[in-house]
Chain A
Amino acid sequence: MVCFKGKVAPAAVFVSSPTVVTAPPAPSGPVAPHPEIVRSVTPEQAQAMTAPEKNRLSDWAAKNDPASLSNILGDLVNPQKEIRVAAIAAVKQFRDPSAIPVLKGIAANSDDPSEQQALLDAAEFLSLPVFDLAAKPDAAQPGAAADGGTLQVVVLSDPRQGIKQRRLQNPTATSPQ
């Protein structure tokens, strides 16, 4: 079970057995109006509030222990969006594929399309192999067809060769600096 530091575990979303949620008892006396606290927070104050947690996320991302992963996953559901965004970046760096279902679960329950996409992108990023200096990025290998068929290595010319040669002779745009 994935533990989150004192926050609602998103993993609960995936529990297939029914979960009984007990409603809090109704207040017996007259209900006082909820005090509304309106506080304007400057960008600097907001940054000062989130900076320590973002620093911690950065440190946890560089580690490799279950407690750090748990902390990062916990921040994926932090009330502050800036922290959630930092947690998504941290979980990508942590490299633990066990976070993939958690990311997908939170994405499925997110109302923010951009955050939903970021969560799914992070899940895909975690599923990728790490770039290997000694080999090409993971690709089809001989004898490893997705449908079980046998593959043999062959060599065909690049169908874009003509375009490449024309561009070499007559560039249509300058390269960015």
Chain B
Amino acid sequence: MTIRLEGFEGPLDLLLHLIKREELDIWNIPIAHITEQYLGYLQLMQDLNINVAGEWLVMAATLIYIKSRMLLPPEPVQESAEGEEQEDPRRELVYQLLEHQKFKNAAQMLYTREEVENAVWNSPPRELLEDEKEVVAVTLFDLLRAFHEVVKRFEAQSSMELDQDDVTIDQKLAEVRRLLMVHDSLAFSSFFTRTMSKRHLIVTFLALLELVRLREIWLYQEKAFEEIHITKSKPAGDTA
């Protein structure tokens, strides 16, 4: 098994970590020491079977390259000709580290802001019908047609009445109310399961009708002749 480190920290993070831990001067990094430490971690990751991505090896190569350049004496030709100080081979890496740290700090700021935003609420979101969905009224005929389909499916599928319980409308009413405490919206068809007896189907249907009459539930569909949804709160638009 290999562990993937993607989404976690990268080579720059490790270098910054080492610099901080050892309280090193970022402008004067002891490159031989840090390279040794870095390679040690790389070895550790490989021993732990962590899948080391390419960028870790690129950084290792960069460090070794810088280390070797630090060992070379400065080129006398360039120095005398230009009179300029020779560029520190570590410079580019230092800038990269500082740049990376800047964005790490910026990420920390975003983290804090997110914390604050997670601690505030605006007016209750109308999750149910967000995106300004068009809602189509459900007529009694739609309902009957939907129920007719349920019964048709029932008749096609089962020849046996498996369900022997004698469910009453009151029991069913309580059940639907309970379901709607948990769910914001339920599909009409989800109330009718295959194992129900025909009697059970009818009782369920009557219970739903009763709740509509009592205005405890509302029915709506997103398009005419589509699935009918049942919800506790009145959606925008005309509904039955």
Check if A and B associate: no
